[in-house]
Each structure stands twice: as structure tokens, then as C-alpha cells.
Amino acid sequence: MRNIILLFSLSILLFYANTSGATLQPDADTQVRLKKFEQFVASQMAREKIPGLSIGYLQGQVMWAGGYGYADLENKVPATATSSYRLASVTKPMTAAAILQLVDSGKVALDAEVQSYVPYFPKKPYPVTVRQLLGHLAGVNAYVNPQLEQHFKEHKNTRESIAVFENFDLIAEPGTRFRYTSYGYNLLGAVIEGASGMSYSDYMTKNVWEPLGMTTTRLDDPYDIIPERVRGYQLQNQQIKHAEFIDISSRFSAGGTRSNIVDMLKFGEGIIRGHIASQGAQDLMFESMVTDKRKFTNYSAGWLTNPVNGRFSISHDGVQPETSTYLFCFPSHHLTIAVAANLQRVNTSLFAEQLFEAITGEAWDKPLYFHDAQDRVYYDAMKAVFNEGNAYFERKQRAYLDEVNEREMLGAAFSMFNHHLKIVALKSDTKQRQLFISEAQHPAGGLQLRKLGSYMAKKLHDAHHKLPAYSNSTAIAFFHDYIALYKKDSTISASFRFDALFERQVAQLYADWIKTSHIKLTKHDFDIQKYLKPGTPTTVSDKELSKALAILGQTMEPALQGAAVAPDYLDDLKMLTQDLIRNGNASHALQIGVLAKELYPKSDAALALAGVLEIFTGNKSKGINSLKTALNLNPQGKASAAGLNDAAYELKGTSGPEAGLTILQAGIELHPDDVNLYDSLGEFYVALAMNKKAIYAYQRALDIKPDYPNAKAVKKIIQELAAGKN
């Protein structure tokens, strides 16, 4: 990994281009932010031990793309913007675009049964339609035998790929349940072939890839000579190893392509601009599908459709052996971001999020801490309204309801929201409090959040408020400014206003937010990151680092004390603890954990972080107490069995299985009947060659639940350990 970091400055091979032929670079301010982003890339690649990564964006006439680290670690081949990665499931939106193109040309009907185009696919108890396949609503199963189906070594054609799953039973009646499945998209690849009379590869090349200038995109083939093909890797016991050889032809139209980020960007731009299919097809890609119960699935025809901090976006990720990819499109920003890494199971979205912030200056998200749980409930409602409503207005440039012609329905949306807020104020049934938000975003719930929020966004837009600014100032400011607007504008009907109690609550939260929102981790020229060098031991003295951490506390604590709302920097603090532990500074990591607990005393995540670090550094009793307090605050949070299991694996990754073992043991003390904790405990004991203890842990898991998901594998492990135990 040290070699990767040393190469970093040499392998940032940037690519600037645009379709008009001119070469445009980002503006000066953006270039400054991009330099800082590149520092983040270096640090994060070291943290995740990523050999090579390529990332870039296309916005308007500017394309910026670069490669970092190695495309081939053994031969020291740098990763570049044109390195060729497996795209994995980023193939799916391409397949969906081709299907919708065929719908436009009249060769495919969305509601036709799949057998109209793939006659050899067996009939099921219910009809399976093309539309349902596009939205993962067809009831088609995913992998039934992953050990076999995810590890094919032989090349398969379309018919052989369909044969893998064609006799599987449907898992649900089509339309009733969302089930993400690559097999459904393999069927769509067969539909393309049946409807067009061409092979999937030929159709995509002629009708999708070449028209968009995607000259390097193709089906992957392990035997072909593919220019700039990256070598794929995996982590085994935190060591970089070659990825398992798998021929992915069996996933041809669901995850069988290979390309570079430049082509990925061109595809995203083509979708945004409608260069591949009609406006109607674009609408199908931009809007989530619904179940027969009229619930959004947050998946359209080929894309994830979750709003991002009030912004309209579509995206898709991809993970398979050798690769991790992500493609984000922000149509209203005319912005596409693509990232690919040659290490499987990498959090590629984190790189895309940081790049988005560097490009736009807008926060991807703005985590907030609330001292009072009731304020958190208020905010969750506000954020849901902002997310749904602002994203809709951004996409359509209009409110969902017209205040003149649909006045009664709009008034009903405000009335329902006000009723919900009264329930919150009364602190009545928790389930009832949550029901409004969980239901009101769906068509079944009347799309109340969309109606409400898009009207607010329109009014603010018409009053010359800059809607993108709310990504930084949060939903609190969105509501505050709307309330201030209608108090000055008598033309806004009383039906479209909030009750007085909520207005006062918003005013108080806004006042506190103004006081605390400027607080950052970088204050008085202090930046903890400068004390840490990714991948190398720190050379800073304990005294110097302790002083720096003291400054951090002295800066943040007075500003946050007594505030109802404040920026939540817990993720940043946690990342610092991980870096410190990697650099052999566990005591200073604990110092940050204690600071987190002091800054955010009502945060279960902060208390759990402190508890884990207290246990890790040898103070088990104090750590258990911190975890118990966290558990009381949120039984499903970071001190839950699942949360502590995750913490154990994180520590195992930074400090080895012995460190993680202490957290599992504490977790079992708090959750004595959790099967998964005992299963993980057995795995950690095996890693430490403590076979007798591993057998005990695995057997305890079986005693608690004999048929738990991993039981069959565990029984085999116990037999193998018993045969060689000492």
C-alpha cells in the first residue's frame, strides 16, 4: 500500500474534454476544491487498501476524469481515466435504456408477457411482463445457490444463461414485491435479442454505445485482448490478493460489460439529455415504480431514484469479483459522476459524494445532532418534506398541485401535516408518529410530502430564494424561510400555513442552527488530518497530538453546549479514530471517543463509539456502561447486536482479530442470545487458531437457533475443527 500512495502524485492522469471539440477545465474555485478532493482520495484509498481507482464527472461542456493508484499492482501500471473495469450492475441501466428504445420503435410492449419475445422461457403461475422485469417487480428470484451461480468458470451464451434460473419458482406474485435480481435483467437481455433479431452485444453497440460515443464499452470476455483492462483484486485478512477468476458471461445483460469511466459519463449524459429514447422513456427512468399496493420501490426502469438532500437524482452501483462501480446522474444540474475501483466491495459512493461536493460546493448530506428526541422527530418530518418536494420541483420546475385549480387537495396536505405535528407535540404513540412520514411519501398515502414540499419550493423559488442553498442550510432553513415568506405575503392562504406551535419550534431550531452551523473540525488553523499520513506511521509526538485534540475539544464544546441542534461530525470523528488506531495511537483514539460522548451526549452512536474504544483500550467496565446507555437511547442503534458485530469487524480490519474479539465478547454480555455474535466469535477464534473456543462459540450459535442461515456451513466447520483441534 505504501507504493500505491507513493505513486499517487504520479498517477493522477486527468482528462479534460467535451463534445464540442474545445477543451474546457473547471473554474478556478472548483479546481481548488478538486485538489482537496484528491487528498481525500489518497487517504481513503489507503484506508480501504484500494489498488486502483478512476473517477470523473461531466457537466455541461466540462469533463474532468482521472486515475489513481495502479490498474495492475504487479506490473506497476497506473490507473487512468481510460482504464477498463468490469461495470457489474451499472450494466442494468444500459439494458433498460435499450428496452425502452425498442418500446419507442414499437418492437416491444411494456405490458406484454416475456414469452412474446423469449418463447423458450417457461410459463409461470402468473404472467411476467417486461415492465415488471425493468422494475424488479416480476417475482423472479435471485441466486438460489450462490456457491454455484456466482462462481461460473465457463463461458455461457444467452440460452445457457437463461437456463440457469428458468425453472426457479417465482418468489411472489408479480407486482406485489420488489426483489432486486440480476436474473430478471438477463431475461431483458433475451427480450432485446428476441425483439431485435440481433445479439445483445450487437444491438447495444449499434443502438446505445456507438451513438453516445462509448467506443470502449463491450461485453467482458476473459479470453479477448481488451486494451487497458485492469486487474481485479480482493482483500483476504486485510491483505490484497488477486480476485477469484469468474467468467461473468452468465450475467451478460445484468452485469457482464466492461468499460471506462469516460464512457460511463457519456452514458449518463445521454440519459440526461434524452439522446437514447423518448421523453416518455425518460420519465420511466426518472420515476420510481410502484407495487400493486401503490408503494414506491425507489427503483425505476433501471435506476435507483432516491432523492439526495432535496436533489433529484438517479444512480446505480455495481459490485462483483474484481470490481466496484457507481454511476450518479443529477439531471437538473446536467451533472454525471462515475467511479470505478479494481477492488471488490469498496464504498465507491463515498468517492462520488466527495467529488459532488467539490464540484458544486453543496453538501451531499448534512447530518444533524438534536439534544431532544422530540426535535429529532420534528426534523425528520421537515427533511422528508424537503427531500420529496424540492426534488420534485427541481425535476419538473413546478409544484405537484396548482394552488388555484387544486386548492382543496393542497390544503388537505397542509392539514394532514399539521395534524401529524400535533401528535408529535403530544408525544403520543411512536408508531403513529412515524406512520405519516412512512406512508405520506407514497401514492398510496396521497403523495402528501410531494404536494406539500413542492409547493413550498415553488413559492420560495418565485420569491428568489436559491433552492440549491438549502442543501447546506438544511430543511430547517427551508421551513423557516417559507414561514417567513407567508408572514409577509398575505396572498398565501391560511390553508397553506403551519400552526403557531410548530412555527415557534422552527424559529427556535433555526436560531440555534445559526449559532452552531459554522462550527467545523478545522478551526484556528487546526486540522487533525495533518497529523496523520495515510499508510505510514505518524511522526508527531504524543504531546503535540494531545494538544491538537485538546484544541478540537476547546473549539467545539463551548459552541455546542446547550444548543438544541448542531452539526453532527460523528462520522468524521470516527474516521479519525480509525486513522489513529492504524497509526498506533489507540490512546488518542480514545480521547476522540470521549470527546464525541461529551459533544453528543444524547447520541447512541457517540456513546457506542466511546464504549467500543474504552473496551479496546482496556477499560471494559466503563465501556460496557457506555454501551448500556447507548442501548437505552436506541435499542436498534450502534450498541445493538448488529451494531457491535459491525464494530468488531471494523476493529478486526484495523487491528486484527484479537481487537475485534473483545468487542464481540462485550456484545455477547449485552446480547447473550444473539446467534450472529456467537457465529462471528467462532470466526474470530478460527482466525486466531483457537479451535476449541471456536467450536464452543459455533455450537452455542447452533444451540440458540439450530436452523439459522449459516448453520449448515457451521456444522461442517465444527467437524473440520474437531478433527484437528489441539
Q: Which three cell numbers stand for residue 358?
A: 467539490
* Least confident segment among 459-468, 578-587, 645-654: 578-587
So what's the pLDDT on residue 424? 75
> Residue written as cell 406512520?
435
Q: What stretch of H or E contains 319?
A: strand 314-320
CB atoms within 10 A of CB 380: 16
Neighbour-count burial for 685-718, b at 16+ CB within 10 Å, e otherwise: bbbeebbebbbebbebbbebeeeeebbeebeebb
> 551 or 120: which carries more pLDDT confidence?
120
> Residue written as cell 461485453?
219
pLDDT tens per residue across span 487-528: 999 999 999 999 999 999 999 999 999 999 987 764 333 445
Largest alpha-carbon pair distance within the chain?
83
CA distance 204 to 211: 10
- Which residues are CB-contacts of 21 (< 8 A; sequence separation ≥ 6)? none
Q: Which three cell numbers stand for residue 600?
A: 453528543
First CA to last CA across the chain, in angstroms? 36
The answer to whether 326 and 352 have CB atoms below 8 angstroms apart is yes
So what's the pLDDT on residue 559? 74
pLDDT tens per residue across span 205-238: 999 999 999 999 999 999 999 999 999 999 987 8
The SS3 assignment for 522 reads: coil
- Which residues are CB-contacts of 235 (< 8 A; sequence separation ≥ 6)? 49, 241, 343, 345
**Confidence band, pLDDT 50/70/90 cuts, at residue 694:** very high
So what's the pLDDT on residue 546? 76
- Which residues are CB-contacts of 471 (< 8 A; sequence separation ≥ 6)? 309, 310, 311, 362, 363, 364, 366
> Residue written as cell 414499437?
106
- Which residues are CB-contacts of 1 (< 8 A; sequence separation ≥ 6)? 46, 49, 240, 535
Q: What are the φ and ψ backbone dihedral angles of 268, each rounded to 5 degrees?
A: -60, -45
Would you say residue 113 has pLDDT above 70?
A: yes
Q: What are the φ and ψ backbone dihedral angles of 312, each rounded to 5 degrees?
A: -80, 125
Would you say residue 328 has pLDDT above 60?
A: yes
CA distance 717 to 412: 60
Average pLDDT over residues 21-42: 83
Would you say residue 72 has pLDDT above 90?
A: yes
So what's the pLDDT on residue 583? 81
So what's the pLDDT on residue 725? 53
Q: Which long-range contacts (CB under 8 A, 24 or more apart) does 481-488 make?
A: 482/456, 483/507, 485/459, 485/460, 486/459
So what's the pLDDT on residue 206? 98
Domains and CATH numbers, the chain: 86-309 (3.40.710.10), 368-516 (no CATH), 528-672 (1.25.40.10)
Neighbour-count burial for 494-506, b at 16+ CB within 10 Å, e otherwise: eebbbeeebbebb
The answer to whether 382 and 475 have CB atoms below 8 angstroms apart is yes
E strands, 125-217, are none
> 280 or 2: which carries more pLDDT confidence?
280
The residues that bridge with 483 in the sheet, in sequence order, are none
CA distance 634 to 37: 34
CA nearest neighbour of 422 among 501, 478, 496: 501
Q: Any idea of the CA torsion for 570, 575, 580, 581, to the nearest 10 degrees?
A: 100
Work out the percent of the chain whose per-residue pLDDT is above 90. 80
So what's the pLDDT on residue 11? 45
Would you say residue 6 has pLDDT above 50?
A: no
Average pLDDT over residues 56-77: 96
Would you say residue 349 has pLDDT above 60?
A: yes
